[in-house]
Structure 1
Amino acid sequence: MITGSLVALVTPMHEDGSIHWEHLDALLDFHLENGTHGIVAVGTTGESSTLDPNEHCKVIGHIIKYLDGRIPVIAGTGGNSTREAIHLTTEAYKLGADACLLVVPYYNKPSQEGLYRHFRAIAEAVPVNQIVYNVPGRTACDMLNETVERLADIPNIVGIKDATGNIPRGIELINAVSGRMVVYSGDDATAAELMLAGGKGNISVTANVAPRAMASLCEAAIAGDRAETERLNELLMPLNRKLFLEANPIPVKWALHRLGHLDDGIRLPLTSLHEQFHGEVEDALVAAGVL
């Protein structure tokens, strides 16, 4: 089981939008040095929507090769086309990914039956461990707990990233799929409470800039240490909020640029963080002790 702080890694880019491979390696070293438990490669935060399929697979393969088994790699391979998701998941499996993360199809607004058949088709086509990902705020489609319960009976669908931010609903889901599937948070602001309730980790944006603190928070929460979890959560809460002042990954890429880890590179239609938000993100970095 993959557990703990699983960073939703940004994809470093030069100012012209081309991938910055040297900065990618440096970021991976940064996470190894600071206790991150796993890397999520080319998810939403990694700008999966602006990388072409060849680049998508190349980044996943580069990360897997560079880490060489030191920590797990979860490859983002979802899509709103079932055929495309199967293709990307197959390629990630061939490259050696430990698991794949598959977002609910966006824009299409499939039915609950359509969602079930979509994820079942991918699981049956590719024998890699798979984590489904529900983020209705971005996909305009909410996968209900009842549908997740059905998916939990498929052997290689081993987890769900729940980014609803709804703790009562998350607790209900943890109880419903216990022993068949693990639940990860996909919402930094509510991750601590979900892990204290039985979640097994956090697929985190905040971990990009505060990896050590997020790793410690996840360890404490999974161990049931409420006092330490709450202390660390309070430390990180300004970042959890301010890193979403504009659409992810705009603020977190600017924050990493401010910390000296990245060039100010991002691909259209995304643009660099608006100047009016710079001070708020800087203040959050200072509050977390990383700037």
Structure 2
Amino acid sequence: MDRTSVSWRGYWPAAPTPFTADGALDEQAMRNVLQLYAEQGVHGVLVNGTTGEWFAQHPAERRRVAELAVEVLGGSTPVVVGCTAYTPAEVIEFAEHARSIGADGALATPPPYAHLTPEEIFGFYEAVTGAVALPWMIYNWPRGVSVDIDTATADRLVDLPNVVAYKDSTGDELMAMATAEVVAGRVRTFGRFIHRRGMAFMLGVGGDGNIDGGGIGAPFAVPYYEAVWRGDREAALRWSGRYGAMVAALVNPDYSAKFAHPTAQLKAAMNLLGQPGGAVRPPLLDLTDPARLDALAAALDSFELRSGSTT
């Protein structure tokens, strides 16, 4: 397998997992989130990633979320299932389940907390991607796992037989560009491509899309990519400007958020927008401070997200 084995590109939300106020998995709200993404025309969906609070779910819940995603979106929108865990055996179990239910692919970061060396990172991915015959997306997420996959290691990883995509969320933008330059011709590459620099890099060197925590930016990012694909540079720059301003108002450069933990902020924003965000699950805490909620609402209103008008 390689980048030609899949058609993955464009704007993908990393879906949240809605919980009820008492902490239960809210299956109907999960269905509603997925249906919202279908209505917004997103180009793919990731479930059970960081935004999906995989770390706070029981294994059976993670499997159920994956099943719901395939049930609602399967055959119409690519569904990649996050399989990150602490051991290769656990990752393989989640990926095998994803394969068995008809998911389009699996994603994993290096195991959190372990602080793997580059050789250990390669060995980990060699083991898990070789064990399950499914298209795999490698996810570089140093904020979450305390290891930043360097360009030389990424260069080796994308040659593994079942690896078809690379999602890079490093805070080192120069390294991200260096890595994308090395891997984009071989695998689908997801990074920060919705701004002027990103668009120029994507069109000149290579790149395929963004995977964004929660999908609040869909009203801007979906038409951005569609404008890029049809060659409408003026429209693409207009949409990227709106998306970039929104992100700057809500998210810090290191992927932390302005008003709360990123997932708590996302769910609060979704609830303010009338979307099925639900509650977070411990150890996270819901955003409840009135002043911060008012500031978040004001930020959403400044981009007309609550009015529904994004033209």
Same fold (TM over 0.5): yes
Residue deviations 1:115-162 (CA, integer Å, cap 9, x gap): 000011011100100011111122111111111100111121111111
In percent, how many aligned pairs have the same letter? 26
Partner residue in 2 for 1:249 = 263
- Rounded Cα–Cα distance in structure 2 between residues aligned with 1:225 and 1:145: 32
**What one-letter code is carried by the residue in structure 2 that aligns with 1:46?**
G
Kindly indicate whether the alpha-carbon contact (under 8 Å) linking 2:167 and 2:189 is maintained by their aligned counterparts in 1. Answer: yes
Q: Pairwise mapping of residues 48-127 of structure 1 onto structure 2 (< 5 A)?
A: 48-127=54-133
| Greater Cα offset, 37-46 or 75-84 | 75-84
Provide the residue aligned with 1:229 in structure 2: 236
Change (3 A) 1:210 1:172: closer
2:195 corresponds to 1:194: no
Correspondence for 1:217 among 216, 219, 224: 224
Could you say which residue in structure 2 is the equivalent of 1:183? 189
Unmatched 5+ stretches in structure 2: 1-6, 252-256, 307-311
Match of 1:13 among 13, 16, 19: 19
Distance 2:199 2:86 in 1: 29
Q: Which residue of 2 aligns with 1:283?
A: 298
Structure 1: runs of 5 or more not aligned: none
Residue aligning to 2:286 = 272
CA, structure 1 residues 12+183, in 2 after alignment: closer, same or farther (shift >3 Å)? same
Range with bigger deviation, 44-53 or 77-86:
77-86
Paired residue secondary structure (1:49): helix
State the shift of 1:221 in Å: 4.3
Q: Mark the CA change 1:2 to 1:263 in structure 2 (over 3 Å): closer, same or farther.
A: closer
Distance (Å, rounded) in 2 between the aligned partners of 1:104 and 1:195: 28
1:269 and 1:178 map into 2 onto residues whose CA distance is 37
- Contact 2:11-2:210 at 8 Å conserved across structures: yes
**Whole-angstrom CA distance in 2 between matches of 1:100 and 1:194:** 25
- Quickly say closer, same or farther: Cα 1:285–1:259, change in 2 above 3 A: same
Report the alpha carbon displacement of residue 7 of structure 1 after superposing the two structures with TM.
Answer: 0.7
Instruction: Give 3-state SS (helix, strand or coil) of 2:262's partner.
Output: coil
* Alpha carbons of structure 1 residues 238 and 283: separation in structure 2 relative to 1, 3 Å: farther
Residues 225 and 103 (structure 1), Cα distance of their counterparts in 2 relative to 1, 3 Å cut: farther
Provide closer, same or farther for how the CA distance between residues 24 and 231 of structure 1 changes in structure 2, counting only shifts above 3 A. same
Q: Are 1:239 and 2:246 an aligned pair? A: yes
Task: Please give the secondary structure, in 2, of the residue aligned with 1:252.
Answer: helix
Q: Is the 8 A contact 1:206 1:214 kept in 2?
A: no
- Aligned 8 A contact 2:118 2:149 in 1: yes
Question: 1:103 deviation in Å?
Answer: 1.2
Structure 1 residues 196 and 49, CA, compared in 2 at 3 Å: closer, same or farther?
Answer: farther
C-alpha distance 274-226 of structure 1, shift in aligned 2 (>3 A): farther
Structure 2 length as normaliser, TM-score?
A: 0.86
- Given the superposition, is the C-alpha separation of residues 231 and 165 from structure 1 closer, same or farther in structure 2, using an over 3 Å criterion? farther
8 A contact 1:4–1:200 mirrored in 2: yes
Structure 1 contact 210–288 (Cα < 8 Å) conserved: no
Query: 1:249 and 1:238 mapped to 2: Cα distance?
Result: 19
Q: Is the Cα–Cα contact under 8 Å of residues 196 and 221 in structure 1 kept in the other structure? A: no
Q: Deviations over 1:215-237 (max 9, x none)?
A: 11233345665543332233223
Equivalents in 2 of 1:57, 1:115: separation in Å?
25
Structure 1 residue 27, shift from structure 2 partner = 1.7
Give the TM-score taking structure 1 as reference length.
Answer: 0.92
Q: Does the Cα contact within 8 Å between 1:13 and 1:262 map onto a contact in 2?
A: no
**What code does the residue aligned with 1:256 have?**
M
Cα distance in 2 for partners of 1:252, 1:22 equals 19
Mean alpha-carbon deviation: is it higher for 126-135 or for 152-161?
152-161
Paired AA for residue 57 in structure 1: R
* Maintained 8 Å contact 2:83/2:106: yes
For 2:222 and 2:160, the matched residues in 1 are separated by 30
